Amino acid sequence: MNYSKHILCIGAGYVGGPTMAMIAYKCPRYRVTVVDINPARILQWQSDDLPIYEPGLDDIVRSARGKNLFFSTDIETGIREADIIFVSVNTPTKSFGVGAGMAADLQYWEKTARQILNVSTTSKIIVEKSTLPVKTAKAMERILSSTTNGVHFEVVSNPEFLAEGSAVRDLENPDRVLIGSRQTPGGLSARDELVEIYANWVPPDKILTVDIWSSELSKLVANAFLAQRISSINAISSLCEKTDADITQVARAVGMDTRIGNRFLNASVGFGGSCFKKDILNLVYICRYYGLNEVADYWEHVTRINDFQKERFVTNMLNVMFNTLAGKRIAMFGFAFKADTGDTRESPAIYIAKRLLEEQAELVISDPRAIDNARDDLKDYLPRVSFTPDPYVAAAKSHAIALMTEWDDYRYLDYESIHRSMIKPAFIFDGRNVLDHRRLFEIGFNVYPVGKPVLTHL
Ligand SMILES: NC(=O)c1ccc[n+]([C@@H]2O[C@H](COP(=O)([O-])OP(=O)(O)OC[C@H]3O[C@@H](n4cnc5c(N)ncnc54)[C@H](O)[C@@H]3O)[C@@H](O)[C@H]2O)c1
């Protein structure tokens, strides 16, 4: 088949896989190849058991794969044949040297750039899909312009705003697609090529074209704002608990103000996921680099409040369960960092599980999709932690349930039978405020939500 464009994506992760599947699905004229250094991951993308769970993803992968969507480990051939290369490798927080614990670790990104430089024999557009520190494109251009063989690379920024758990919906109907480019003839022409791809299904008023530095920075700022809203409501939840106010009612009253809006105002055990913390810390690092210490301090506190919220949850459990958790069995309902994903990266459940284990509790972890990742996260704590997809099995003979993830499944369980199977007094700590607290109380549970009055028989 004659394809009108060859698109390559380097990095077949939570972003690379779904974004390229959507492009292939919406643009049958393009050949889209996704490559990765991890052969096991590529094998999974080629199978019926995809490496990530996202509602709706199986269907779009199945309909495009083998026609115009391909997964491969042959990175060099992919690079040589591509007109446009999206780079979607991981950019974790640096764990060593200067900037350890704060700055982005750009080694994977730089290795990719050098590989593109070494292998390419024709000019290409390089798209920053990974989340990167502002000004990364400059470093990238320097590396990529060190060739003398006449090959030219135009770097554009196209950060991804999908949320895990709703990735397919977000990609199909995005709030906006952001494309940042140099304002030179070459930059503008590369920008237009990218616009042309998205214009296959995204309305023109949702495709935002900006300068390259604003694009890079906007992604970090968007995540910082989202995380800040969560930390803001969580900070107030702690005050609600001291003053008998109810965080749900406060959030509703505040969110009905159209200047504020009602999204992202659910108090919880804290935010997780691979991006929020790392992107805020990256922003903090950049601010400090430019001597903006007050600005850095401001954003750093968003992550501190998140840590405070997780620790508060554990100390509350300890206090109300008579100041000892040693030998007590606790069922954790959910381990993924949010519902509708199997991803546990930076999940608050990891921190809470480890703290409960430090208190010598015995844990039974239940999750519909994240058991494999949970087992890996807690591999050093076996055999004091066990795993089951069945929440009824997890709860049986437990002293307490700690709800960590807002999976719909947990709302509709038979809590009467769960209560009968538990050790009394039975405790339930709702870390997402999704359960019917009054009903649980009537069944006999001692109920501890976040930022709301407790309902206890003790
Ligand atoms: N996960 C999200 O929800 C999300 C959302 C928006 C943006 N992002 C950003 O997108 C980027 C990717 O995130 P992710 O969650 O998909 O990460 P991921 O870890 O799931 O995937 C990255 C993939 O890149 C591969 N890789 C690393 N170096 C490589 C190389 N040199 N050649 C080929 N493959 C290589 C890894 O093997 C891995 O499979 C990050 O910068 C992240 O901040 C993530």
In short, whether 130's Cβ falls inside 6 Å of ligand 1 is yes
pLDDT at 357: 98
Question: By residue range, what is the domain housing residue 317?
Answer: 212-458
**Whole-prediction pTM:** 0.96
174 phi/psi in degrees, rounded to 5: -70, 150
- Do 228 and 116 share a structural domain? no
207 belongs to a structural domain: no
DSSP letter at 273 equals S
Instruction: Find the helix or strand (DSSP H, E) in which 383 lies.
Output: none
Q: Which residue has the tokens 């214009």?
A: 199
Substitution site in 43, 88, 94 for ligand 1 pocket (most atoms within 8 Å of beta carbon): 88
Q: How many domains does the chain have?
A: 2
**What local confidence, expressed as pLDDT, does residue 146 receive?**
83
pLDDT of residue 199: 98
Q: Which of 174, 202, 230 is the last residue of a domain?
A: 202
Please calculate the CA angle 299-304-305 and round it to the nearest 5 degrees. 100
Distance, in Å, from the CA atom of 161 to the CA atom of 378, rounded to the nearest integer, reads: 30
Domain of 343, CATH number, reads 3.40.50.720
Catalytic residue among 9, 27, 240, 275: 275
Residues 192 and 238 occupy one common structural domain: no
Ligand 1 close to Cβ of residue 110 (< 6 A): no
Spatial neighbors of 213 by CB under 8 A, at least 6 apart, are 134, 135, 137, 180
Q: Which residue has the tokens 């049958």?
A: 28
| Catalytic residue flag (residue 240) | no
The amino acid at residue 227 is A
pLDDT in tens, the chain (458 residues): 789 999 999 999 999 999 999 999 999 999 999 999 999 999 999 999 999 999 999 999 999 999 999 999 999 999 999 999 999 999 999 999 999 999 999 999 999 999 999 999 999 999 999 999 999 999 999 999 887 788 999 999 999 999 999 999 999 999 999 999 999 999 999 999 999 999 999 999 999 999 999 999 999 999 999 999 999 999 999 999 999 999 999 999 999 999 999 999 999 999 999 999 999 999 999 999 999 999 999 999 999 999 999 999 999 999 999 999 999 999 999 999 999 999 999 999 999 999 999 999 999 999 999 999 999 999 999 999 999 999 999 999 999 999 999 999 999 999 999 999 999 999 999 999 999 999 999 999 999 999 999 999 99
Same domain, 432 and 310: yes
CA of 149 from ligand 1 middle (Å) equals 30
Q: Is 158 in the pocket of ligand 1 (CB under 6 A)?
A: no
Ligand 1: which residue has its CA nearest to atom 44?
Answer: 15
